Amino acid sequence: MARKLVVFGGGGFVGGNLCTVALRRGWEVTIVDARVREGVPGARWEALDITDSSAVHELVRKLRPQAAVDLAAVAEIDRAERERELTRAVNVQAAEAIAAVCAKVEAGCLYFSSDAVFPGTGSGYREDDLLGPVNYYGRTKMEGEQAVRGAHPQAAIVRISLALGFPVTDGNSFFAALEEKLKAGQEIVAPSDEVRTPVDVLTLSECVLELLDKRFAGIIHIGSTDSVDRATLTRRAAKLMGYPAAPVRAQPSDASRPGRAPRHKNGIISVAKAQGLLATPLLNVERSIERAIHERLS
């Protein structure tokens, strides 16, 4: 009998890829999202407001999955700053409700977090390093981690820096947006002073499924084995997409622009723990970009 996996926020970019990989590996997948979308054939869809904790509890109790992954988030940093009540409801309160019911039905639980929980002034951040988010999004992810671990002590928390790839649904992704701009011949402005430790979405999905298989408990960083500034990353991606002469202009991020929340500069996370635990190989930045572009799912 196939194992059951419930993915909250599974209609988005990372979720759609994760669900597709899970289906190919024999999981029975239910996607829980605000609305049913096209894509991910073979998955069951449930339209649900995840801020309704009673509805979340009812659904998980009904499905009785072996594992649940919480990808649902208000993740756009400027929006999170503007819509604080909604951001807290999704990133903290809903995450706690999902973790709590998973604990009750003895299901594994994996919560997606972010390198935005760190201040971004250092480098090589390890899982147990001191947190210090610089924006509201990062603060809610920090509090979400705490809420999840309090509700389900055996939960897994995966921190990522930046996911690379293309959606299998209509979810948003950095590469999809970049490709549209390249096709339109638009100038692309990319920050030269924001460093990230990206991971392609396929490697990320494989790592998540391995963590679920292992019933890993605790915090773990998933990313590439090296880091890159966003301007260099953009240029490399544009070249591999077939636009080597694309007009990519590097400039420092403009924190003074009205409505723009502060960003952590150095999203440089250590993946040593993951390398020691997982059989899934973590790639360097160049190979991560290549895999994201050339092995996209359909």
| Cα–Cα distance list, 92 to 7, 117, 134, 192 (Å) | 17, 13, 17, 31
Alpha carbon 159 to its chain centroid, in Å, reads 8
The chain-wide mean pLDDT, for the chain, equals 95
pLDDT tens across 69-125, in order?
999 999 999 999 999 999 999 999 999 999 999 999 999 999 999 999 999 999 999
DSSP labels, the chain:
-PPEEEEETTTSHHHHHHHHHHHHTT-EEEEEESS--S--TT-EEEE--TT-HHHHHHHHHHH--SEEEE------HHHHHH-HHHHHIIIIIIHHHHHHHHHHTT-EEEEEEEGGGS-SSSSSB-TTSPP--SSHHHHHHHHHHHHHHHH-TT-EEEEESEEES--SSS---HHHHHHHHHHHT--EEEESS-EE-EEEHHHHHHHHHHHHHHT--EEEE---SS-EEHHHHHHHHHHHTT-TT--EEEE---TTSTTPPP--SB--B--HHHHHH-SSPPP-HHHHHHHHHHS---
In single-letter form, the type of residue at position 242 comes to G
* pLDDT value at 256 more than 60: no
Distance CA 37, CA 23 (A): 17
| pLDDT number for residue 223 | 98
Domain ranges of the chain: 4-163+198-224+268-283
CA distance 204 to 178: 20
What are the pLDDT digits (tens) for 6-64? 999 999 999 999 999 999 999 999 999 999 988 899 999 999 999 999 999 999 999 99
In terms of CATH, what superfamily is 4-163+198-224+268-283? NAD(P)-binding Rossmann-like Domain (3.40.50.720)
Percent pLDDT > 90 in the chain is 91
pLDDT, tens digit, 9 for 90 and up, residues 171-196: 789 999 999 999 999 999 999 999 99
